[in-house]
Structure 1
Amino acid sequence: MRVVAKFGGTSLGNGDRVERAADSITAAVENGHEVAVVASAMGSTTDFLLDEIQYEADEADRAEIVSMGERTSVRMLKGALSARGVNAVFLEPGSDDWPVITNEHGEVDVEESTRRAKALAEQMHNDHVVPVITGFLAQDHAGNITTLGRGGSDTTAVMLGSYMDADEVVIVTDVEGVMTGDPRVVEGARNVGEITVDELRNLSFRGAEVVAPSALTYKEGDLSVRVVHYQHGDLMTGGTSIEGEFENLIDLQEDRLSCVTVAGRAIRNRPGILSELSTALAEEDINIDAVSSGMDSITFYVATDVAEEAEALLHEKIIGSETLSSITVDDPFAVVRITGGDLQAEPGIVNDIVAPLAAEHINVQDVITSATSVAVFVDWENGEDALGLIQDVFED
């Protein structure tokens, strides 16, 4: 089994943890697995180095300076593996076998990086070598050091796992996989055995520090990615398995939708109002397709054939309420949904999506976004035209 194991800064935070990491790698190698290692800077070294740059350093100098954290880690870990009799080598930008190459725009050169990663995988197989690779760092075609941004070590690991045709990527960190909640805040938080990439990406963009969102874009469906705690000690078991892959999809929902809007004074300051209204619909098996809210209103998008029933149910909640004042229904609307793992990383993506609609005088009723999707609501009669215009954006 071919495995890429990434060790985060906390998991290499001191000599004892480096020893623990080396023990787990050695055990996997002795059990017949091919292991490539990606190492982050020890502890908070990168943050320390960045904080100590008190002068106006250009990007090239900054990259050289911050690379020292990862350069130290791979030497420490390679040494610990060699002491255990493991045939290990460390790789950093400038090494002959260095695998991660970027182009003149600072973006990963997929073709060249894939070629190098496959050559490295072949060397692992033929020479029974364990490469210990600096995470976060890359090298351009001129030999200059570049970086992959915050969370870049996760990106290095999943990228190489994909390009090397690995069976699994194991992210070794300071959490016991993905938890049901932050154990520092909620009691009884427990490990989630499995989670999809879409679920985790949404959590990651909203504060969950488990796997860098940029890394998940490199995960393909047949590549297993697992998160384990550094104290677990076994690379091959435990933790949380991240399932599936991002699907880039643009589609037009077939059913007509109606927007049912409830208005009220300072509705945002009324605790439980959203639950109260949505529960009334749920009790009658009315599905809510989407929800948007403003300063003094909440809009539910529901199928047009149940809109009148929804209006009647929510009207009952308005009568006698001091907060709610009125309800209205408008229809029919179409929704175009754009789903993709890279959306959050593309500045101006929402503008890119809606600008062509404005140019064709198509009114946008609503836009609802998440970390991995954008839903654009337009008049029903404009649905097909909107779909075509948005498809053109992504084809370009």
Structure 2
Amino acid sequence: MIVMKFGGSSVANHTQIEKVRAIVEAKRERAPVVVSSAHKGITDALVDAAKAAAKGELTRIDPAGLEPGPGAAALSKRGVFVDPIGRQRTILAELGCPADLLDAFFAELCDLLRGVSLVRELSPRSLDYVSSFGERMSVRALADYFTRNGLPARAHDVWDLGFITDDNFNRARPLAGWEADCREAFAKLDDALPVVTGFVGKNRAGDITTVGRNGSDLTAALLGGALGAEEVQIWTDTDGVMTADPSLVDGARNIPAMRFDEAAELAYFGSRVLHPSTLLPAMASDIPVRVLNTNRPGHHGTVIEQKAVENPSVATSIAYKEGQSVVVLRTTRMFGQAGFLAKVFAILGERGVDVDMVSTSEVSVSLTTADRAGITAAMPELERLGECELHHDRTILAVVGQHLPQRPGIGARILGGVADAGVNVEMISYGVDSINLTMLIADADIDRAVSVLHGMLFEAR
């Protein structure tokens, strides 16, 4: 058995979905389980609609479609409101699905958005519920299309296959022991190809949860571990894991094989290919993860496993994580005082603020987080401990490699290359026996820093 996860770009439209069908058909002898994301753009459109409803900015909420009201604020990052119902209907028509295939879902979504609009409140629980419609609709469209085109398939909501989670909305995880229920549920399935929702789950109370944005990777890895799969395949729109973000670096190269720890570092520090938590269940079960390109299925992609071959290169890849906020706390009360940092992290922990980088001296501590709202809310309490500065729009830039600490002068070369690009480094983290060197730079400097480092580390002769 293999688990094959297809992302939003892989199931974006009829052309891409036909590619997926052909790829899965070619793997039928390996008993595939398909995990699907929502069609590209649908989840963003659902979230935008939910936020618009909470602000009273939807004038029409019915199964025929959604419309923003006159004078509505910008409803998405792109400044354009996309009707998720209209977009889904277009995809159904492209695929030749029955026009009423998802009418029950459209009606359910509209009822939910009306409720949000009436109370003018969008809780984490309600947001998960709204966000779940993308995957729930996509698997039914895919299963219908596959079946009508010679590949008998059946859609499944993952909670019907044992995936019952905790109550941590937006970041849920399956409950301990769920694997046995999952194996029992799969044993009862018929011979039709299972097409399973990624990203979503349900708690014991029956409330829909999600595992976090781009979390279908994690669903696939968890299912792979529970079912003892031979391999978990993550199908994307790139040739596996690359030496840098190909949208920034034209010369970015495929990495044929890498270790779990390298891939985990890259995912955590912003690699766009894998969800940060994806590799944990695969590592625990020692199941290889293979990253492949839906648009070039013949490409070997990247295989990630515990015993990958040694990488002779100076570095494996460059990743970045933008949108960071940095706090600098200065006080002489830190000097020689045991437990001072514990007070700092207790304040952040109470607000669920996840810290990425930390740098300390005897009289100051600097730390970064992607949780802008959380760190802003924590500032009044932090200011009771000392003088604080808060800066936004920063990026963690990470160079990952198997043997960085054993390469004399590599740290100086990396920092020198960044300096030559005219980029200021505000913080550095480089631990003993670490496989990554991380730097904090301004968001505006990402392109220059990544391009220069890639040229130095991967393209120089």
Report deviation, 1:105: 4.5
Task: Please state if 1:222 is matched with 2:219.
Answer: no
Report deviation, 1:163: 0.6
Selected match of 2:123 from 58, 71, 75? 58
Contact residue 26 and residue 84 of structure 1 kept, 8 A:
no
Contact residue 18 and residue 76 of structure 1 kept, 8 A:
no
SS at match of 1:90: strand
Corresponding residue for 1:23? 22
Report deviation, 1:216: 1.2
SS at match of 2:209: strand
Report deviation, 1:66: 1.1
Task: State the distance in 1 between where 2:269 and 2:158 align.
Answer: 32
Report deviation, 1:112: 4.0
Which 5+ residue runs of structure 1 have no aligned equivalent? 246-294, 296-344, 352-365, 375-396
Selected match of 1:232 from 289, 292, 296? 296
Corresponding residue for 1:33? 30
Task: Please state if 1:82 is matched with 2:147.
Answer: yes
User: How many correspondences in the alignment?
Assistant: 252
TM-score when normalising by structure 1: 0.58
Cα-Cα RMSD:
3.0
Corresponding residue for 1:241? 303
Report deviation, 1:200: 1.6
Which 5+ residue runs of structure 2 have no aligned equivalent? 55-120, 308-327, 329-351, 359-427, 437-461
TM-score when normalising by structure 2: 0.50
Greater gyration radius? 1
Deviations 1:42-80 (A, max 9, x none): 011111111222212122321221111111210111012
Task: State the distance in 2 between where 1:86 and 1:128 align.
Answer: 11
Contact residue 101 and residue 113 of structure 1 kept, 8 A:
yes
Contact residue 161 and residue 186 of structure 2 kept, 8 A:
no
Evaluate the alpha carbon distance shift between residue 68 and residue 182 of structure 1 in structure 2; reply closer, same or farther with a 3 A threshold. same
Contact residue 158 and residue 198 of structure 2 kept, 8 A:
no
Contact residue 21 and residue 233 of structure 1 kept, 8 A:
no
Evaluate the alpha carbon distance shift between residue 373 and residue 103 of structure 1 in structure 2; reply closer, same or farther with a 3 A threshold. farther
Give the share of equivalent positions with the same residue, in percent.
33
Evaluate the alpha carbon distance shift between residue 104 and residue 48 of structure 1 in structure 2; reply closer, same or farther with a 3 A threshold. closer
Evaluate the alpha carbon distance shift between residue 3 and residue 120 of structure 1 in structure 2; reply closer, same or farther with a 3 A threshold. farther
SS at match of 2:16: helix
Report deviation, 1:87: 3.1
Task: State the distance in 1 between where 2:266 and 2:158 align.
Answer: 32
Q: Residues 94-173 of structure 1: matches in 2 within 5 Å?
A: 97-105=160-168, 107-123=172-188, 127-173=190-236
Contact residue 167 and residue 223 of structure 1 kept, 8 A:
yes
Task: State the distance in 1 between where 2:192 and 2:290 align.
Answer: 23
Task: State the distance in 2 between where 1:61 and 1:123 align.
Answer: 32
Contact residue 151 and residue 214 of structure 1 kept, 8 A:
no
Contact residue 93 and residue 145 of structure 1 kept, 8 A:
no
Corresponding residue for 1:383? none
Deviations 1:188-237 (A, max 9, x none): 32211101121122222222101111111111353111000111236xx7
In structure 2, give the amino acid aligned to 1:6.
K
Contact residue 99 and residue 116 of structure 1 kept, 8 A:
yes
Report deviation, 1:137: 0.2
Corresponding residue for 1:196? 259
Corresponding residue for 1:68? 133
Contact residue 172 and residue 228 of structure 1 kept, 8 A:
yes
